[in-house]
Structure 1
Amino acid sequence: MMLPGGAMLILLPMLCLLPGASWAATLGGLGDTILGPKEFRDVANFSTFLLDQSSGMLYLGAKDAILAVDTNKPNQPPQMIVWDVPVDKRKSCVAKGKTEADCNNYIRLLEFLGDGRIYVCGTYAFDPQCAFLERSSFTLEKSEDGGVKMETGKGKCPFEPSQHYTAVMAGGTLYTAATSNFLGTLFDISRATGPEQERIRTERSINWLSDPEFVSSAFIEQSADSNPTGDDDKIYFFFTEVAKEYDLYTKVKVPRVARVCKSDVGGMKTLQRRWTTFLKAELVCEDKPSGQRYNILTDVFTTQHTPGDPSSTHFYGLFTSQWQREEVSAVCVFSLSDISKVMDGPFKELKKTCENWINPEPVPTPRPGQCLNNALKAEGFESSLKLPDKVLTFVRDHPLMENSVTAAPLLVRKGITYTKLAVTQTGSEEGPRGAVLHLGTDRGELHRVAVVGQNATLLQEIPLFSSQEPVNNILLHQGRALVGSPLSLARIQAEGCALYPSCEVCARARGLGCVWTTEGACRPTTEEPGPGDMIDDALRKCDIQEGRCTPSIREMQVSKGLRLLLPCIQLSPRPCSWEHPPHRHTRQHHSDLEVTVTEDSLGVYICTCQEAGPGFREPTPCRRAAYQLTLKDPTSGGAVATAGGRHVLAIYILFFCGGLAFGVFLICFVNRRHSIARQGHHLPDNSLSSEKGRDLLGSSATPQSPSSASLLSEGFRLTEKRNGTATTTTSTTLLSSQGNGGHHGNSYSGTLIHNNPSNGHGNSLYANCNTSSSELKFTEILAADMLDGRTGEREKGNLNGVEREGDDVDEGLGDGVEQGIKGLEDELASFPMFKSPAPLAKCEESSI
């Protein structure tokens, strides 16, 4: 039998190659592709994507570079343009107090101009600059002196790489929401290009923008066929800001949607070069039964439920909560018609005398903030320059609407942070049957969730990148999803029932029109599901013989004193409850349950969540998970422990004798050298230098980071990955037995990536596969599929600062080896020739 230490030395090189192996295993069967740092020639900090839908050419903005990838031929080397900052300008930026990492040129804007060129803007060492890229030759336009032809990017591009920012091109004119000064204290929503007299922006007032974090923007162009009133085109901006309407001690953040009109050119006297149509309203994503509100907007995806009909536009918003201590993500959808109704409703006003918000009276005519239409033009208001001062004064003081745009969450996931969102509509021509949410996580994963009516079902959890690479871009193109991180790009299949390789996952997609066939494949179908729960009926046809709301009981053999976390995946915003034996040794973490094992805590545990019923009005209970805790047989564990103890004793005696013999040999060797030296013989100096002596020291002589706490004792969620630890079984395996997921795969991590918060997006990532680093840890994850009567026997050992897994016999051997080596080190250290200062740990500087 191989010793644990030897096995560990063999496993460590394999772990360095684990990310690449995992990618190949995860995506190889789908014919998909992942491009990493090797293919991108170590270009990093990808932050901006621009896709040509006709040709499939994807343009990527990165640090000091612009790349072009042909998504139809992703294996071809990407084209690259280097656009960096001169050395003297970088030094000047650093002298102003900025970091060297930030004083580069981070490409934050890529937009098509319509004349075969792309408008490119970068931070350019805190002095934003813009240039023009010729698509045909893929080169930047040159000036007369041979350098890059540039123009100022102030107001078009942020100064700092990590600042929140959004921009959209509308009819060849650029509209942006960004900071407008070096310090990042001034914020503007502006028309950034076009004729100089038409470049207008927001008023510098906290009533207009109050410390905003811009998220997204969308241009809604009116259709000529469905616009009989001649209404103007509009641009919508989504952001989170500090609310001024709430008089509270704590700064309350609220999500907003703001609207401006395309033909707005400002006022004649009042609001000169300022928006006259700027209105904003609060977005409310709230689950009313529980009262939980999600108030921080992180991403927005815009789509038309009916292609070609702008009035069918819906905005899917990704939210989190300011008040939740743990990770939580929610998705709400808002329709364009609901936003328009709120913008046409009453205004909110702050009365200066009593500091209370009331409805303003009276509202002047024509209505403040109204876009130009045929009726206004007939009254003589052909331009915003002709609007009366009383109308402009009113809209200047009342940009906020009284009513809010409200929606209930489609999805709530606790314990997970989603970063990006894209939506695929599915169904027949009569109307959409449902939607698939493609959700990127902060740990490099892509999750797919089916939403049919008011019920959400987790379909897949796909690991794409390293756990330290958050997903920061998702684009949909010809049935595929282009998923990006600061270091990598993935192209994976995004549409079709063929995505779901097993009967269980296909059954969960029944609401999307998928069915498992007798040929063993998931295929689309036009057959309408029968009455009752369509997913439950489809799951019963699979071999597992259990439905979505009738999971089988998972038996778990545990030992006394063990702390474990029983997972229950909650997709509905409604609460979950647990049935368990009557004792006080449990604590609920959102939908999961923490249990401390005692005699009283043994028994059956059942998690039941409330979901939308058949009529989508009254919630119905759905059993999500069921476990049975039993005490493992103590006799088998004792026998193993006894056998392990004998092995430990034998190995310790063996190492002690070997160390003693080696010590005697060294003493004889030293005495012989001394005697020869006294006889006047001069031999070459082969004594160990201090550096060589250090090399002989064991790893215990070097400061090591403390071992990771066991997940069994800390009660972490099964889906968590900390410090790049590799989890041998993901939570999706457990989800399949609960009717909430079906992707069977191994998550991975072998690359240590360190975040530098001062760089472009907090993602200046540096890869390192140093097997001796104290950051490389092995963490044991408790999953129901792994237990199988071995829960109490799986413990963690530690050898040379690296954590490992094994049974009691292996652990005993490991302890014997460790103690034997330590005894040998103590004996060696007793000789003067081995006494030397302990070496400093790597990356540690001496204070002397």
Structure 2
Amino acid sequence: MALPSPGPDPWRLLGGFLFQLLLMLPLPPATGTGGQGPTPRVRYHAGDGHRALSFFHQKGLRDFDTLLLSADGNTLYVGAREAILALNIQSPGIPQLRNMISWPASERKKNDCAFKKKSSETQCFNFIRVLVSFNATHLYACGTFAFSPACAFIELQDSHLLPILKDKVMDGKGQSPFDPAHKHTAVLVDGMLYSGTMNNFLGSEPILMRTLGSQPVLKTDIFLRWLHPDASFVAAIPSSQVVYFFFEETASEFDFFEELYISRVARVCKNDVGGEKLLQKKWTTFLKAQLLCTQPGQLPFNIIRHAVLLPADPSSGSRIYAVFTSQWQVGGTRSSAVCAFSLADIEHVFKGKFKELNKETSRWTTYRGPEANPRPGSCSTGPSSDKALTFMKDHFLMDEHVVARPLLVKSGVEYTQLAVELAQGLDGSSHVVMYLGTSTGSLHKAVVPENSSAYLVEEIQLSPEPEPVRNLQLAPTQGAMFAGFSGGVWKVPRANCRVYESCVDCVLARDPHCAWDPESGICSLLSGSTPSAWRQDMEQGNPELACAHPMPRSPRRQSPPQLIKEVLAVPNSILELPCPHLSALASYYWSHGRATIPEASSTIYNGSLLLLPQDGVGGLYQCVATENGYSYPVVSYWVDSQDQSLALDPELAGVPRERVEVPLTRVGGGASMAAQRSYWPHFLIVTVLLAIVLLGVLTLLLASPLGALRARGKVQGCGTLPPREKAPLSRERHLQPSKDYRTSASDVDADNNHLGTEVA
């Protein structure tokens, strides 16, 4: 790239020299979530003003882990460390505290906890782990209670929480974990609590248990090893006749060199009453099967993190969406996947064949013997026979797997929480929308089309510091998502339609909650009564069909700009024309009217166009984005010289214009200063580096003659050797070549070209 022609102005020469140094600067690294998989179209960093968020926190409270939405959708109940809160979420903005009740562990329990070598600073508290709505007037809550689980009913009065009386606190063993770090799950169905947790202090006794209600208390049998000691529960989902538990454990049916973790779905019947002689107070309908979330030719995603039920869809029926990770880190990064399992497929597997353990070989094989009628493990009415119960004690594992292919695979990300809803588009069709919480405090919004893989609409970094999302609670009536963290609760509106400032941007976003209103010229949130004139294209994201002003398909054909920003080119300065990157899925390039951008006086740095004002650099400059096969101008600048304003192109007549000031870097005196970003630090850095390089080269040049003289002096001074050293010690030593003169593998370049010859 040639320097500008020298002139009488020394500042022009200095500006040209500075401009050339700027071209040598390395580009800054791209930001955002790394890894393979769909890229979020829009990313918001923590504290970004373009995404309106609200954060509720309470002084002195930590660990906002458990979230419960009231039946009317106006109150959010939050279980924190030693406290339960009721938040009013009706009004926009930050949720308002209705009231709060404290539920600390007793001092005796805390002392016992510390005596058992648990931390009095992080563990010996009452962490709320179960918070469910028992009826219209009571909640039911359970907590770790300093490694001594406890439960209690909480009375409600106009959505306000009444204090918990000490004499009303009950034993919570089997309903809440001892250790706050252990995963757990619980769901209330027909007045009965179905829970999956650890049942002992050491965390080695997993249990599925039913309590409350009129039915007898039932649990899994510990001695029959229905569950592996390291089972970790993530979700409990009720169905018509059964309750499904989703968990992860070490596989007992596979024999490998290393432990293999697999995901499971277990099933118990709601009408199970236990056995009369065998399996008393134990489940008689407990069955479990393997969940397999995998894609062809790849290692399976074998560790389940969370699962939720999407209500029945007329086209596909009820489906369970679950997030998975893998125990194998391919390429040094952990990957995540989302799979959807049909309830019909799960029911089909539980109606299939059983596995049985061959006690001679200690291997699990397919059971091929006769089956009793009624089928063991079925939800038949009446008590089961002793023969059926004996069969169930050893045949609790199903032979087939519940298999699903991933809807979304993302590497470099660990999904920890999931929420799913159906959003109705402008054409009346329903679209599956997933909200995914990550281990680093981000929230991903994904849309699952009918016949293609999922895509990410946006990524929102909620937590300024990397920490996992503890819980997600969707509030449809409020149009918001609530995310629990260690320090508080974030309120996130489901959609951010106003950030899309043009019809093209609004349509390309393919957010089912957003549509373009041509009358107001705003991308607005869809509501129940949406005018038919609004624009949206969820299937293809085609702005040419959806928008009033069609955009060209060719990336080199430019549509007229909607607004022209007039910029004054100041002499002896470097002009910076920023280009906002509205979409991470688009590619961007700069154009200069119908001519090419002059290379000698321009460069692109961090997406912005840097111009060195010279003759011929004025005119129209446009930053054009190409996405989904369509091109549109993101921003348009008209550059005027200070001496004489250029006349606008006749084709641009009628386009609104706006005089703006852009960042300038001043080179010399006599020019107005409007700099918002200075490149002088870069200039100083490059100058210092250049001086260091020149000093190094000069040192080498001076050192070479001195080295030659020293070598010559050594040769001249060693012409006579002592008599004992004139002859070699042996012939072998004389024939052995010197190690310093042997060619190594490093002497051959990447193209296998020999760089030297061996010297004997």
**Is TM > 0.5 for Structure 1 vs Structure 2?**
yes
Equivalent residue letter for 2:448: V
Contact 1:513 1:526 in 2 (8 A): no
Change (3 A) 1:532 1:191: closer
Contact 2:175 2:197 in 1 (8 A): yes
Q: By how many angstroms is 1:811 displaced? A: 4.1
The equivalent residue for 2:347 is 340
Q: Which of 136, 140, 149 is the matching residue for 1:119?
A: 140
Contact 2:275 2:282 in 1 (8 A): yes
The equivalent residue for 1:321 is 326
The equivalent residue for 2:29 is none
The equivalent residue for 2:225 is 206
> Does 1:128 pair with 2:149?
yes
Equivalent residue letter for 2:328: W
Contact 1:449 1:456 in 2 (8 A): yes
> Does 1:165 pair with 2:176?
no
Contact 2:66 2:484 in 1 (8 A): no
Q: By how many angstroms is 1:366 displaced? A: 2.3
Q: Which of 239, 243, 267 is the matching residue for 1:235?
A: 243
Contact 2:516 2:535 in 1 (8 A): no
Q: By how many angstroms is 1:120 displaced? A: 1.5
Q: By how many angstroms is 1:244 displaced? A: 0.9
Change (3 A) 1:343 1:22: closer
Q: Which of 124, 130, 139 is the matching residue for 1:103?
A: 124
The one-character-per-residue Cα deviations of 1:599-643 (angstroms, maximum 9, x if unpaired) are: xxxxxxxxxxxxxxxxxxxxxxxx987999xxxx99999xxxxxx
Change (3 A) 1:480 1:115: closer
Q: Which of 258, 264, 269 is the matching residue for 1:261?
A: 269
Cα separation, 2, equivalents of 1:283 and 1:481: 28
> Does 1:490 pair with 2:498?
no
The one-character-per-residue Cα deviations of 1:242-296 (angstroms, maximum 9, x if unpaired) are: 11111101111111111101110111222121111111111111112x4342111
> Does 1:426 pair with 2:445?
no
> Does 1:473 pair with 2:498?
no
Equivalent residue letter for 1:462: I
Contact 2:321 2:341 in 1 (8 A): yes
Q: By how many angstroms is 1:85 displaced? A: 2.3
The equivalent residue for 1:42 is 60
Equivalent residue letter for 1:295: N
Please, which moves more after superposition, 353-362 or 94-103? 353-362
Change (3 A) 1:292 1:412: same
Q: Which of 251, 273, 296 is the matching residue for 2:281?
A: 273
Equivalent residue letter for 2:288: K
Q: By how many angstroms is 1:394 displaced? A: 1.5
SS at match of 1:277: coil
SS at match of 1:387: coil
Cα separation, 2, equivalents of 1:410 and 1:421: 14
- Structure having the higher Rg: 2
Cα separation, 2, equivalents of 1:296 and 1:546: 46
Equivalent residue letter for 1:306: D
Q: Which of 130, 139, 145 is the matching residue for 2:162?
A: 139
Contact 1:549 1:624 in 2 (8 A): no
Q: By how many angstroms is 1:516 displaced? A: 3.6
The equivalent residue for 2:614 is none
SS at match of 1:353: coil
Contact 1:189 1:202 in 2 (8 A): no
The one-character-per-residue Cα deviations of 1:769-823 (angstroms, maximum 9, x if unpaired) are: xxxxxxxxxxxxxxxxxxx9x9xxxxxxxxxxxxx998423547999xxxxxxxx
Cα separation, 1, equivalents of 2:310 and 2:427: 17
Percent identical residues: 33
Alignment gaps of 5+ in structure 1 = 1-19, 223-232, 374-381, 553-568, 571-622, 638-733, 741-787, 791-803, 816-848
Q: By how many angstroms is 1:517 displaced? A: 4.6
Cα separation, 1, equivalents of 2:319 and 2:499: 25
Q: By how many angstroms is 1:526 displaced? A: 7.0
Cα separation, 2, equivalents of 1:259 and 1:115: 28
Change (3 A) 1:75 1:259: closer
SS at match of 1:293: coil
Q: By how many angstroms is 1:337 displaced? A: 0.8
Change (3 A) 1:520 1:182: same
Contact 2:510 2:538 in 1 (8 A): no
The equivalent residue for 1:351 is 358
SS at match of 2:400: coil
The equivalent residue for 1:648 is none
After superposition, residues 170-185 of structure 1 pair within 5 angstroms as 170-185=189-204
Q: Which of 64, 68, 76 is the matching residue for 2:82?
A: 64
Please, which moves more after superposition, 84-93 or 276-285? 84-93
Cα separation, 2, equivalents of 1:131 and 1:809: 68
The equivalent residue for 2:566 is none
Contact 1:280 1:400 in 2 (8 A): yes
Equivalent residue letter for 1:414: S
The equivalent residue for 1:371 is 378
Cα separation, 2, equivalents of 1:21 and 1:250: 40
SS at match of 1:97: coil
SS at match of 2:257: coil
Q: By how many angstroms is 1:397 displaced? A: 0.7
Q: By how many angstroms is 1:196 displaced? A: 8.3
Contact 1:421 1:474 in 2 (8 A): yes
The equivalent residue for 1:302 is 309
SS at match of 1:271: coil
After superposition, residues 494-513 of structure 1 pair within 5 angstroms as 494=494, 503=503, 506-510=506-510, 512=512
Change (3 A) 1:191 1:536: same
The equivalent residue for 2:706 is none
SS at match of 1:178: strand
The equivalent residue for 1:746 is none
The one-character-per-residue Cα deviations of 1:416-447 (angstroms, maximum 9, x if unpaired) are: 22221111212379985321111122222221
Change (3 A) 1:471 1:539: farther
Q: Tell me how many residue pairs correspond in the alignment.
A: 535
Change (3 A) 1:115 1:430: same
Cα separation, 1, equivalents of 2:480 and 2:110: 40
The equivalent residue for 2:258 is 250
The equivalent residue for 1:389 is 386
The equivalent residue for 2:456 is 458
SS at match of 1:342: helix
> Does 1:54 pair with 2:64?
no
Change (3 A) 1:81 1:284: same
Contact 1:59 1:68 in 2 (8 A): yes
Equivalent residue letter for 1:86: S
SS at match of 1:507: helix
Change (3 A) 1:356 1:494: same
Q: By how many angstroms is 1:201 displaced? A: 3.1
After superposition, residues 774-785 of structure 1 pair within 5 angstroms as none
Q: Which of 532, 535, 538 is the matching residue for 2:541?
A: 535
Cα separation, 2, equivalents of 1:547 and 1:242: 53
After superposition, residues 520-669 of structure 1 pair within 5 angstroms as 520-522=521-523, 534-535=540-541
The equivalent residue for 2:49 is 25
Equivalent residue letter for 1:359: T
Cα separation, 2, equivalents of 1:203 and 1:274: 10
SS at match of 1:312: coil
Cα separation, 2, equivalents of 1:444 and 1:430: 34
SS at match of 2:506: helix
Normalization by structure 2: what TM-score? 0.63
Q: By how many angstroms is 1:117 displaced? A: 1.3
SS at match of 2:97: coil
The one-character-per-residue Cα deviations of 1:562-614 (angstroms, maximum 9, x if unpaired) are: xxxxxxx99xxxxxxxxxxxxxxxxxxxxxxxxxxxxxxxxxxxxxxxxxxxx
Q: Which of 47, 66, 80 is the matching residue for 2:100?
A: 80
Equivalent residue letter for 2:256: L
Cα separation, 2, equivalents of 1:108 and 1:315: 23
Change (3 A) 1:87 1:436: same
Change (3 A) 1:125 1:362: same
Normalization by structure 1: what TM-score? 0.56
The one-character-per-residue Cα deviations of 1:109-142 (angstroms, maximum 9, x if unpaired) are: 1112215111111111111111221111522342
Cα separation, 2, equivalents of 1:507 and 1:531: 6
The one-character-per-residue Cα deviations of 1:65-86 (angstroms, maximum 9, x if unpaired) are: 1111111144533422111123
Contact 2:205 2:222 in 1 (8 A): no
